């Protein structure tokens, strides 16, 4: 393992806002913060927003700056990526940001029923040929439904036409409400929304910047779950 990765892992252990439960801890008792994130961690009552597969946490940190009235948690299995977001959040003095290093499959061990208000899926792996593993598969949507509030929403931002179309099919199949939807975020959606929403949609993640340089089109859908 590279020195860089090791020093990032070491620094993660010093951050109060990076939680790294073991799979055994999650499997036996669940995360102690489950159902208690606002009371015990953020110490204020505010809507909780998750970014799943957050990588360097560009949406987690970007949204925390744009909408400081909400609490944000970036989740990823890779500690070296989470470190980037955690370090930036610390440098910016953001008290409304946490990072959780775990597998998205363990989400029900980490959040209580209706504890979460919004979920962002940013450039998730389209899992070609493995539909069950997609983060908008029926299995994951059922999990999100448990932890989301009745008016909770899910945002998907992706370069993958496969994942975008697949998600639209699951939305239709389950008769879920589409709140916003565009196959061309920058050419079609951004010009017609409010400046506040433009700022949110204009946040670029690490992967998004790579795909934009390759000339790929970015898709977005926001939908309700209940």
Ligand X SMILES: C[S@@+](CC[C@H](N)C(=O)[O-])C[C@H]1O[C@@H](n2cnc3c(N)ncnc32)[C@H](O)[C@@H]1O
Contact 47, 111 (CB under 8 A): no
CB of 76 to ligand X, least distance (A): 4
Q: Which residues contact 44 (CB under 8 A, 6 or more apart)?
A: 38, 71
Examine residue 205 and tell whether it contacts ligand X (CB under 6 A): yes
How far is Cα 38 from Cα 47, in angstroms, rounded to an integer? 9
CB of 222 to ligand X, least distance (A): 16
How far is Cα 126 from Cα 123, in angstroms, rounded to an integer? 8
How far is Cα 187 from Cα 190, in angstroms, rounded to an integer? 7
CB of 215 to ligand X, least distance (A): 17
Question: Active site includes 125?
Answer: yes
Window 13-32: residues binding ligand X (CB under 6 A): none
Q: Contact with ligand X (CB under 6 A): which of 17, 18, 55, 97?
A: 55
What value, to the nearest 5°, has the Cα angle with vertex 171 and ends 102 and 119?
A: 30
Residues 151-164 as b or e (16 or more Cβ within 10 Å = b): ebbbbbbbbbeebb
Q: Which stretch binds ligand X (CB under 6 A): 25-33, 53-61, 182-190, 194-202?
A: 53-61
CB of 43 to ligand X, least distance (A): 26
What value, to the nearest 5°, has the Cα angle with vertex 49 and ends 223 and 124?
A: 65
Q: Of the two residues 44 and 209, which places its CB atom closer to ligand X in the complex? A: 209
Window 73-92: residues binding ligand X (CB under 6 A): 76-78, 81
Examine residue 96 and tell whether it contacts ligand X (CB under 6 A): no
Please pick, among 29, 45, 105, 125, the residue that the annotation labels catalytic: 125
What value, to the nearest 5°, has the Cα angle with vertex 171 and ends 106 and 223?
A: 75
Examine residue 9 and tell whether it contacts ligand X (CB under 6 A): no
Examine residue 207 and tell whether it contacts ligand X (CB under 6 A): yes
Q: Which stretch binds ligand X (CB under 6 A): 17-25, 102-110, 164-172, 190-198?
A: 102-110
Catalytic machinery residues: 125
Instruction: Provide the binding-site residues for ligand X, judged by CB under 6 A.
Output: 53-55, 76-78, 81, 103-105, 122-123, 125, 205-208
């Amino acid at each position: 393992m590279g020195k860089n990765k090791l020093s990032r892992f070491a620094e993660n252990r010093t951050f109060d806002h990076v939680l790294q439960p073991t799979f055994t801890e999650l499997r036996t008792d669940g995360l102690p913060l489950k159902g208690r994130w606002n009371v015990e961690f953020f110490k204020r009552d505010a809507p909780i927003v998750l970014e799943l597969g957050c990588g360097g946490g560009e949406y987690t940190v970007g949204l925390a700056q744009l909408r400081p009235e909400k609490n944000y948690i970036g989740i990823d299995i890779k500690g070296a990526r989470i470190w980037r977001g955690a370090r930036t959040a610390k440098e910016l003095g953001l008290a409304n940001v946490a990072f959780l290093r775990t597998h998205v499959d363990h989400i029900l061990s980490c959040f209580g029923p209706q504890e979460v208000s919004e979920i962002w899926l940013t450039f998730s792996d389209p899992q070609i040929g493995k539909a069950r593993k997609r983060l908008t598969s029926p299995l994951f949507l059922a999990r999100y439904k448990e932890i989301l509030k009745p008016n909770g929403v899910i945002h998907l931002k992706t370069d993958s036409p496969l994942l975008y179309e697949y998600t639209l099919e699951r939305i239709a199949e389950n008769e879920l409400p589409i709140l916003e939807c565009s196959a061309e975020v920058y050419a079609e959606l951004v010009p017609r929304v409010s400046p506040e929403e433009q700022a949110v949609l204009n946040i670029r993640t690490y992967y998004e910047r790579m795909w934009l340089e390759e000339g790929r089109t970015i898709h977005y859908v926001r939908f309700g779950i209940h």
